[in-house]
Structure 1
């Protein structure tokens, strides 16, 4: 019986070869695995690959064209924006995520609230000041605020958005959401969430949290025009994809004092370049895409991705296909 070839693609900023080797070990009994840090790094391995597992590393039309044996691209994430779906469909390659695995949604929700609390309580400037023996309370007090009694606007009430909304209840927040389709009535009732259109959500929310997939329709969903709808006391939190927000427009709004702050775990590109103005904008709390990559979550993500590939190689239909 021929042993199938699998390409494991883990870029340096996601752990590189060390993480890829650990991932490959999970597949060792089922496939011959080649570990690379970019899909085009080893052309012979790409050409022979029946499946690719990618950890946020691009799989382009060129990569797909160079892989005539390819049948499956498995994204080790909820998102799939780094895979050329149109090219995959043309080549009849199935693209899957780990969306139904429950691998990372709770941790992303935790990261969302970590950023919200850091913004509300001014933790970063308070910490920085105290490391210089600067008792900054009189200066910071006017800008320290609460979550309790505030309105949280959730953009995208999918699996992660629902986890965020569920946690908001513990903080006595009012939840409203927007999305292309209404959530089931029982979900809205359980979460106490009300559906509104995007512009109303932006005008009336104190905290706006993004949990939408990145597609052609959602790229720069929050552009300068929509950011201008937010209250000057509002905070924006993004733990989904960096390109959901026009980053220059957000930097402009923060610099002008048109927003109270932004908590960002994702950027466009990743890692961000030193020229990204948001890195130096006032009122930001930044983290390097750590939502979804705790010690525990990384294991769950790897197991979910490997299980899907293993099931596929055994002749069973894969889960969470998006193409």
Structure 2
């Protein structure tokens, strides 16, 4: 029997996690499930030193711990992003690393439009007015989405789903993507009437800009002050991808200068966002605590695929492999 150790909670009730585990891996492995993340890498090592397979969501797995964990054969990341795992160390040891792509495509795309509507219709400001005894004022004048231009940065699964929803709202769609020649991207662009443009053109022409690229060495700080300053008056900027895709210091500077622009942020360079961070003090920012993926349906899907990845590895046919 393989020993599988989940080093942190998987987001579902323990009974639900164990039920899914039994359905997928019951005859192959036993599960140790912790109800809180490790305090540090030292405690992490104590938890996994006898494990064959480790499951992590967002807790970092350092190269030092990977190299010391002699029994470790697989790291199953129960998340789409895996930049918190030392991939090079895993490759050195011949350890398989898997992730869960696409589990929250609908959840994240729907949050984009939740945030956009809240910003465009000034819902938060309206709520504040009502709670202080007020009523409708000129400051609550909103805008419609139909006929507006949305710029989608990154046309992977989530970006394409956002485009589908944008089409339903009757919006014009611009896309910036580093590989627009890929067949699935070309096909979806044709279906929704999207047009591929440069990043600068997208920033200049869009009423709404929404970011959907993974964080890599190429995408870190890909949106900087020189791009932000191109935004139209009254634009809405949404980031539900990774915080560091936008250079955060530049974003704070820009939002202080351009109070007509609203930023809707679900992700940050440092998470949790520090209590005294400048972003928390700005009126033209809507903040959510990285909840894009956080729906019942997405978490159940993520857990099931995580365990299916482990089963495929045990059966000698690894899937969703990133290392």
Does 2:110 correspond to 1:116? Answer: no
Aligned partner of 1:188 in structure 2 is 189
Aligned partner of 1:63 in structure 2 is 65
CA contact (8 A) 1:254 1:282 kept: no
Distance of aligned partners of 1:136 and 1:250 in 2 relative to their CA distance in 1, 3 Å threshold: farther
Aligned with residue 33 of structure 2, among 24, 30, 35:
35
CA contact (8 A) 1:248 1:278 kept: no
Distance of aligned partners of 1:71 and 1:20 in 2 relative to their CA distance in 1, 3 Å threshold: farther
Does 2:8 correspond to 1:7? Answer: no
CA distance in 2, matches of 1:56, 1:228: 33
Aligned partner of 1:51 in structure 2 is 53
CA distance in 1, matches of 2:321, 2:29: 21
Aligned partner of 2:277 in structure 1 is 276
- Total equivalences in the alignment: 312
> How far did 1:170 drift?
0.8
Aligned partner of 2:302 in structure 1 is 301
SS at match of 1:41: helix
CA distance in 2, matches of 1:40, 1:53: 17
> Which segments of structure 1 move beyond 6 Å, counting only runs of 4 or more?
none
SS at match of 1:149: coil
Does 2:235 correspond to 1:234? Answer: yes
Distance of aligned partners of 1:137 and 1:258 in 2 relative to their CA distance in 1, 3 Å threshold: closer
Distance of aligned partners of 1:139 and 1:302 in 2 relative to their CA distance in 1, 3 Å threshold: same
1:194-273 → structure 2 map (5 Å cutoff):
194-257=195-258, 260-273=261-274
> How far did 1:114 drift?
0.3
Does 2:303 correspond to 1:314? Answer: no
CA distance in 2, matches of 1:70, 1:188: 43
TM-superposition CA deviations, 1:103-127 (whole Å, max 9, x none): 2101111001101111111111111
CA distance in 1, matches of 2:213, 2:246: 11
SS at match of 2:49: helix
Aligned with residue 90 of structure 2, among 73, 88, 91:
88
Distance of aligned partners of 1:306 and 1:203 in 2 relative to their CA distance in 1, 3 Å threshold: same
SS at match of 2:298: helix
CA contact (8 A) 1:153 1:201 kept: yes
RMSD over equivalenced CA pairs, Å: 2.0
Deviates more, 1:228-237 or 1:167-176: 228-237
CA contact (8 A) 2:215 2:244 kept: yes
CA distance in 2, matches of 1:256, 1:233: 13
CA distance in 2, matches of 1:285, 1:231: 18
